[in-house]
Chain A
Amino acid sequence: MDYEHTREQEMIREAVRSFAEGEIAPVAQELDEAEKFSPELTRKMGEIGLFGMFVSEKYGGQGLDYVSYIIGVEEVARIDGSQAATVAAGNSLGIGPLYYFGTEEQKQKYLPKLCAGEGLWGFGLTEPQAGSDAGGTQTTAVRDGDEWVLNGSKIFITNAASPISMGVTVQAITGRRDDGKPRYTCFLVEHGMRGFTAREMKRKMMWRSSNTAELFFDNVRVPKANILGNVGDGFHQMLKTLDGGRLSIGAMGLGGAQGAYELALKYAKKREQFGQPIGKFQAIAFKLADCAMEIECARNLLYKACWLRDKKKPYEKLAAMGKLYCSETMGRVVNHAVQIHGGYGLMKEYGVERFYRDQKLLDIGEGTSEVQRIVISRYIGC
């Protein structure tokens, strides 16, 4: 057993923490209120190396392990959920599928820019009629000579309609298997292809300065060179991508919980009522003790899942557990954190309400908490 990170991993934590405190913290609240995505901040996150951490240096990545990447997401989420979303989705859903399933040409074409934070790539899976039930997918692709013709739409796609979005990996039905079930294939659809429209979705409750898009495909002709991997690989690619994605959503829950907990602890030491700091009252102290304990459990669970992945051992069950537990831990922590702040916790200037709002997505995105419980229950043989 060894519970220590490597020196490199500790330095990465320190570096990302300094960056997040110095560059993200001063603008997080303002961007949230304006519901504004910042290409400048994204580029800065690219400069310090938050994109492509697990990608080989050959394609502009940093060639690090998954634990390092998760530490990076965690430290950004400790300060701001929106920027963490840009990083987590940018890596796990944007860069990930291209890196793991793309051809050499595709990797060389897209990855260097994405790893530099100069461009973003989306992952188009969810549709208006296909949320937890991915079987409801209606987007289709039909072959026509050397091209495929896409029709359909996608919704809630992170990073897909920003000023620096370059394209989207789109899952579409490309036929039927012998058992009648749909056969899925992923296509790399670039911004600017005729018939492809990406519209930014506004008026969100959370992740307000991350970019969320609705995508429309109206007879979009995609060359066959833009097929990700092989025809029919789409379903498998999606499952693999979501397994890794769960770890980064877990990191957002963990980091967000840590950030909200630190705000609450600081406030509890400073705020006085009945002649003493409120942290001296057990009603408050016990809440903070619970937060500290649950964050510790969440961290150990998530890091173990990442460690398994880095060791190339089965990690899927723990990834689902980590995503679920970290999300729900953050839910309990932000609830306590706002409660400890009392009336001030409801006001924007104290920052803790932003954590409260940002948490809710984690129970829903990249597989709802209910879906995670289905995944876990299958793994334990129910």
Chain B
Amino acid sequence: METVVLVKRVPDTETLVRIAPDAKGILLDGARMVMNPYDEIALEEALRLRDIHGGAVCALSAGGEKTVETLRTALAMGADKAVLLTGLESGSADSLTLARAIAAFLRSLPFDLVLAGARAVDDDGYQVGPMVAEFLGIPQLTFAVRVLVEGGAVTCHRAVDGETVVARAALPALVTAHKGLNQPRFASVVGIMKAQKKPVETVTLAGLALPEGKARVETRSVRLAPERAGGLIIQGETPEEKAKVLVRALADAGAL
């Protein structure tokens, strides 16, 4: 079974975020960059499925030169090969542009399953995976917390609104991985050594037959979330008294 895993390089959530001077993005110099944790889950699942069904796992990412580091991590965890898509101007590519490019590349590749993280922890779009499936015209099963492949089909337990939906789709298909699906392994030192010898292919967008289409999202400005203001503790002797104070406070805040 041939599996492609979409991975994204994102700032570690512990990193202190600074806004760029033009307020159109964030400054990443000095930030610790990691593989999107949801993509780690997707990759782990791909590796486990490979152990059962055989085949190869290819990690795919779009980005600049530094993104190779993230792909090397994927290789160190156990992916067999990696592809870097270059030529997307950083910052200008919205999810749609990115998905279109990834889908265009995937058309040139035989695959049975595409795995992606359900979301990326940097811009929280939840979009690229599903859009890729749409462009490719293949079924998509999102928010998977359990994945089973047999008889040319994939069955997923999907976490939806606190319930579990069991859904099945014929391969090839795309699955997005949710928290709880598995516990991703750590890259081992041996894995890192092996990763140096595995191939990382670079593909430029210019060489792909990209369908027409423009970005639909434009970033106007980025700002830090406002600091949380102090809460209000309702004072009063009796519940009735407290309720009155609360109602007054809600009315003053324009909430009633």
Q: Which A residues contact B (CB, under 8 angstroms)?
A: 7-8, 11-12, 14-16, 18-19, 22-23, 47-50, 53, 62-64, 68, 72
Q: Which residues of B contact A11 (CB under 8 A)?
A: 69, 72-73, 76, 187, 192, 195
Selected from B69, B186, B193, the residue in CB contact (under 8 A) with A18 is: B186
Name B's interface SS: helix
Q: Which residues of B contact A53 (CB under 8 A)?
A: 189
Q: Is B188's CB under 8 angstroms from A63's CB?
A: no
Q: Is B186's CB under 8 angstroms from A64's CB?
A: no
Selected from A19, A63, A68, the residue in CB contact (under 8 A) with B186 is: A19
Q: Is B193's CB under 8 angstroms from A23's CB?
A: no
Q: Taking A11-B72, A11-B73, A14-B73 as contacts, is the C-beta distance between A62 and B189 under 8 angstroms?
A: yes
Q: Which 9 pairs between the two chains have the least Cβ-Cβ distance?
A: A49-B189, A48-B188, A15-B187, A19-B186, A49-B188, A11-B192, A62-B189, A49-B190, A48-B186
- Pick from B189, B190, B191, B192 the residue with the most CB of A within 10 Å: B189
Q: Which residues of A contact B193 (CB under 8 A)?
A: 8, 62-64
Q: Is B186's CB under 8 angstroms from A12's CB?
A: no
Q: Is A15's CB under 8 angstroms from B188's CB?
A: yes
Q: Is A72's CB under 8 angstroms from B73's CB?
A: no
Distance of A7 Cα from B189 Cα, bound (Å): 13
Distance of A11 Cα from B188 Cα, bound (Å): 10
Distance of A48 Cα from B189 Cα, bound (Å): 6
Q: Which B residues contact A (CB, under 8 angstroms)?
A: 34, 69, 72-73, 76, 186-193, 195-196
Which A residue's beta carbon lies closest to that of B77?
A15
Q: Which residues of A contact B188 (CB under 8 A)?
A: 15, 47-49
Distance of A161 Cα from B193 Cα, bound (Å): 33
Q: How far is the CB of A117 from chain B (nearest CB, A)?
A: 11
Distance of A19 Cα from B186 Cα, bound (Å): 6
Which A residue's beta carbon lies closest to that of B183?
A22
Q: Which residues of B contact A22 (CB under 8 A)?
A: 186
Q: How far is the CB of A109 from chain B (nearest CB, A)?
A: 22
Q: Which residues of B contact A16 (CB under 8 A)?
A: 189
Q: How far is the CB of A136 from chain B (nearest CB, A)?
A: 39
Distance of A64 Cα from B192 Cα, bound (Å): 11
Q: Which residues of A contact B191 (CB under 8 A)?
A: 15, 49
Q: How far is the CB of B68 from chain A (nearest CB, A)?
A: 9
Which A residue's beta carbon lies closest to that of B189?
A49
Q: How far is the CB of B39 from chain A (nearest CB, A)?
A: 14
Q: How far is the CB of B110 from chain A (nearest CB, A)?
A: 30
Q: Is B189's CB under 8 angstroms from A72's CB?
A: yes
Q: Is A15's CB under 8 angstroms from B190's CB?
A: no
Q: How far is the CB of A347 from chain B (nearest CB, A)?
A: 23
Q: Taking A11-B73, A14-B73 as contacts, is the C-beta distance between A23 and B192 under 8 angstroms?
A: no
Q: How far is the CB of B188 from chain A (nearest CB, A)?
A: 4
Distance of A7 Cα from B68 Cα, bound (Å): 11
Which B residue's beta carbon lies closest to that of A6?
B196
Q: Is A50's CB under 8 angstroms from B189's CB?
A: yes
Which B residue's beta carbon lies closest to that of A18?
B186
Q: Which residues of A contact B34 (CB under 8 A)?
A: 18
Q: How far is the CB of B189 from chain A (nearest CB, A)?
A: 3
Which A residue's beta carbon lies closest to that of B40?
A18
Q: Which residues of A contact B76 (CB under 8 A)?
A: 11, 15
Which B residue's beta carbon lies closest to that of A49?
B189
Distance of A49 Cα from B72 Cα, bound (Å): 17
Q: How far is the CB of B182 from chain A (nearest CB, A)?
A: 14
Distance of A48 Cα from B186 Cα, bound (Å): 7
Q: How far is the CB of B146 from chain A (nearest CB, A)?
A: 22
Q: How far is the CB of A6 from chain B (nearest CB, A)?
A: 10
Distance of A72 Cα from B192 Cα, bound (Å): 13
Selected from B72, B189, B195, the residue in CB contact (under 8 A) with A64 is: B189
Distance of A16 Cα from B34 Cα, bound (Å): 14
Q: How far is the CB of A244 from chain B (nearest CB, A)?
A: 18
Q: Which residues of A contact B190 (CB under 8 A)?
A: 49, 62
